[in-house]
Protein backbone atom coordinates (compact mmCIF):
# COMPACT_ATOMS: atom_id res chain seq x y z
CA UNK A 1 0.00 0.00 0.00
CA UNK A 2 2.83 2.38 0.82
CA UNK A 3 4.47 1.83 -2.57
CA UNK A 4 1.16 2.31 -4.37
CA UNK A 5 0.56 5.55 -2.52
CA UNK A 6 3.97 6.86 -3.59
CA UNK A 7 3.27 5.78 -7.20
CA UNK A 8 0.06 7.81 -7.05
CA UNK A 9 1.93 10.83 -5.71
CA UNK A 10 0.54 10.62 -2.17
CA UNK A 11 2.22 10.24 1.21
CA UNK A 12 2.79 6.80 2.70
CA UNK A 13 0.10 7.45 5.29
CA UNK A 14 -2.46 7.85 2.51
CA UNK A 15 -1.77 4.28 1.42
CA UNK A 16 -2.43 2.93 4.90
CA UNK A 17 -5.58 5.03 5.32
CA UNK A 18 -6.94 3.92 1.95
CA UNK A 19 -6.37 0.28 2.88
CA UNK A 20 -8.26 0.67 6.16
CA UNK A 21 -11.09 2.60 4.51
CA UNK A 22 -11.48 0.14 1.62
CA UNK A 23 -11.55 -2.86 3.97
CA UNK A 24 -14.12 -1.23 6.23
CA UNK A 25 -16.34 -0.23 3.31
CA UNK A 26 -16.13 -3.67 1.74
CA UNK A 27 -17.07 -5.27 5.05
CA UNK A 28 -20.40 -3.41 4.81
CA UNK A 29 -21.08 -3.47 1.07
CA UNK A 30 -19.14 -6.46 -0.27
CA UNK A 31 -20.63 -9.81 -1.18
CA UNK A 32 -17.62 -12.12 -1.68
CA UNK A 33 -15.40 -13.55 1.04
CA UNK A 34 -12.66 -14.26 -1.52
CA UNK A 35 -12.33 -10.84 -3.15
CA UNK A 36 -9.27 -8.73 -2.39
CA UNK A 37 -10.02 -5.05 -1.92
CA UNK A 38 -6.91 -2.93 -2.24
CA UNK A 39 -5.14 -0.45 -4.47
CA UNK A 40 -3.17 -1.70 -7.45
CA UNK A 41 -0.14 -0.35 -9.23
CA UNK A 42 -2.27 0.24 -12.32
CA UNK A 43 -4.80 2.38 -10.47
CA UNK A 44 -2.04 4.30 -8.71
CA UNK A 45 -0.22 5.13 -11.94
CA UNK A 46 -3.44 6.07 -13.73
CA UNK A 47 -4.46 8.42 -10.92
CA UNK A 48 -1.05 10.09 -10.95
CA UNK A 49 -0.93 10.50 -14.73
CA UNK A 50 -4.50 11.80 -14.96
CA UNK A 51 -4.24 14.29 -12.11
CA UNK A 52 -0.82 15.67 -13.09
CA UNK A 53 -1.83 16.14 -16.73
CA UNK A 54 -1.11 19.58 -18.15
CA UNK A 55 -4.80 20.51 -18.15
CA UNK A 56 -5.12 20.01 -14.39
CA UNK A 57 -1.56 20.48 -13.03
CA UNK A 58 -2.30 21.16 -9.35
CA UNK A 59 0.08 23.60 -7.65
CA UNK A 60 -0.22 22.30 -4.10
CA UNK A 61 -0.31 18.94 -2.36
CA UNK A 62 -3.81 19.77 -1.12
CA UNK A 63 -4.94 20.54 -4.67
CA UNK A 64 -3.47 17.26 -5.91
CA UNK A 65 -5.19 15.32 -3.12
CA UNK A 66 -8.52 16.99 -3.90
CA UNK A 67 -8.30 16.20 -7.62
CA UNK A 68 -7.21 12.60 -6.91
CA UNK A 69 -10.08 12.09 -4.46
CA UNK A 70 -12.52 13.51 -7.01
CA UNK A 71 -11.22 11.19 -9.70
CA UNK A 72 -11.52 8.18 -7.38
CA UNK A 73 -15.11 9.07 -6.45
CA UNK A 74 -16.14 9.62 -10.08
CA UNK A 75 -14.49 6.34 -11.11
CA UNK A 76 -16.30 4.52 -8.32
CA UNK A 77 -19.59 6.05 -9.44
CA UNK A 78 -18.97 4.86 -13.01
CA UNK A 79 -18.20 1.35 -11.72
CA UNK A 80 -21.42 1.26 -9.71
CA UNK A 81 -23.44 2.47 -12.72
CA UNK A 82 -21.73 -0.01 -15.04
CA UNK A 83 -22.49 -2.81 -12.59
CA UNK A 84 -26.14 -1.78 -12.33
CA UNK A 85 -26.37 -1.73 -16.14
CA UNK A 86 -24.61 -5.12 -16.38
CA UNK A 87 -21.88 -3.82 -18.69
CA UNK A 88 -19.38 -6.56 -17.82
CA UNK A 89 -19.35 -7.77 -21.44
CA UNK A 90 -17.41 -4.65 -22.50
CA UNK A 91 -14.21 -6.19 -21.11
CA UNK A 92 -14.33 -8.81 -23.88
CA UNK A 93 -13.56 -6.06 -26.41
CA UNK A 94 -10.08 -5.48 -24.94
CA UNK A 95 -7.73 -7.90 -26.66
CA UNK A 96 -5.37 -10.09 -24.66
CA UNK A 97 -2.21 -8.69 -26.35
CA UNK A 98 -3.32 -5.13 -25.56
CA UNK A 99 -3.88 -6.02 -21.92
CA UNK A 100 -0.56 -7.89 -21.67
CA UNK A 101 1.24 -4.92 -23.25
CA UNK A 102 -0.33 -2.56 -20.73
CA UNK A 103 0.64 -4.80 -17.82
CA UNK A 104 4.21 -5.22 -19.13
CA UNK A 105 4.62 -1.47 -19.61
CA UNK A 106 3.22 -0.92 -16.14
CA UNK A 107 5.71 -3.40 -14.70
CA UNK A 108 8.59 -1.51 -16.34
CA UNK A 109 7.26 1.81 -15.03
CA UNK A 110 6.84 0.52 -11.48
CA UNK A 111 10.27 -1.13 -11.47
CA UNK A 112 12.02 2.01 -12.70
CA UNK A 113 10.07 4.08 -10.16
CA UNK A 114 11.05 1.83 -7.23
CA UNK A 115 14.71 1.11 -8.09
CA UNK A 116 16.01 4.43 -6.71
CA UNK A 117 14.57 3.48 -3.30
CA UNK A 118 16.40 0.16 -3.42
CA UNK A 119 19.70 1.91 -4.12
CA UNK A 120 19.08 4.79 -1.73
CA UNK A 121 19.14 7.39 -4.50
CA UNK A 122 16.91 10.29 -5.43
CA UNK A 123 14.69 9.58 -8.39
CA UNK A 124 15.20 11.47 -11.60
CA UNK A 125 12.59 13.45 -13.46
CA UNK A 126 11.00 12.77 -16.79
CA UNK A 127 9.77 9.57 -18.37
CA UNK A 128 10.90 6.04 -17.48
CA UNK A 129 13.88 6.08 -19.84
CA UNK A 130 15.22 9.33 -18.37
CA UNK A 131 14.67 8.06 -14.83
CA UNK A 132 16.54 4.85 -15.63
CA UNK A 133 19.39 6.84 -17.21
CA UNK A 134 19.53 9.03 -14.09
CA UNK A 135 19.71 5.93 -11.91
CA UNK A 136 22.52 4.38 -13.95
CA UNK A 137 24.44 7.67 -13.97
CA UNK A 138 24.24 7.92 -10.15
CA UNK A 139 24.96 4.28 -9.23
CA UNK A 140 28.24 5.44 -7.68
CA UNK A 141 26.24 7.30 -5.01
CA UNK A 142 24.45 4.12 -3.88
CA UNK A 143 23.83 3.79 -0.16
CA UNK A 144 25.37 0.41 0.66
CA UNK A 145 23.31 -0.07 3.84
CA UNK A 146 20.05 0.68 2.01
CA UNK A 147 20.97 -1.67 -0.82
CA UNK A 148 21.91 -4.54 1.52
CA UNK A 149 18.72 -4.20 3.58
CA UNK A 150 16.61 -4.03 0.42
CA UNK A 151 18.26 -7.07 -1.16
CA UNK A 152 17.91 -9.09 2.05
CA UNK A 153 14.23 -8.17 2.26
CA UNK A 154 13.70 -9.21 -1.37
CA UNK A 155 15.59 -12.47 -0.81
CA UNK A 156 13.39 -13.26 2.20
CA UNK A 157 10.19 -12.45 0.30
CA UNK A 158 11.14 -14.55 -2.71
CA UNK A 159 12.63 -17.27 -0.51
CA UNK A 160 9.42 -17.66 1.48
CA UNK A 161 7.47 -17.89 -1.77
CA UNK A 162 9.90 -20.48 -3.18
CA UNK A 163 10.51 -22.68 -0.15
CA UNK A 164 7.20 -22.31 1.68
CA UNK A 165 4.57 -21.90 -1.06
CA UNK A 166 1.70 -22.51 1.36
CA UNK A 167 2.81 -19.44 3.29
CA UNK A 168 1.75 -16.20 1.57
CA UNK A 169 4.91 -14.36 2.61
CA UNK A 170 3.58 -13.11 5.93
CA UNK A 171 5.82 -13.63 8.94
CA UNK A 172 2.87 -14.32 11.20
CA UNK A 173 1.34 -17.07 9.09
CA UNK A 174 1.05 -20.50 10.59
CA UNK A 175 2.54 -22.82 8.01
CA UNK A 176 4.66 -25.93 8.54
CA UNK A 177 7.87 -24.22 7.35
CA UNK A 178 7.75 -21.82 10.32
CA UNK A 179 7.06 -23.78 13.56
Winning range, highest mean pLDDT, from 6-15, 79-88, 142-151, 153-162 = 142-151
How confident is the model over 157-176, as pLDDT tens digits? 888 877 877 766 554 444 44
How confident is the model over 26-43, as pLDDT tens digits? 888 777 777 767 677 788
Average pLDDT score, the chain: 82
DSSP 9: T
How confident is the model over 68-101, as pLDDT tens digits? 888 888 988 998 899 899 998 888 888 889 989 9
Amino acid sequence: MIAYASLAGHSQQAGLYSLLASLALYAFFGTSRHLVVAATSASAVLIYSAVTAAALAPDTVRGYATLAAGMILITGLFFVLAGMCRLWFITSFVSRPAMEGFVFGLAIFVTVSQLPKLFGLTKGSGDSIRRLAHLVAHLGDTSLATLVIGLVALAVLFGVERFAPACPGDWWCSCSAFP
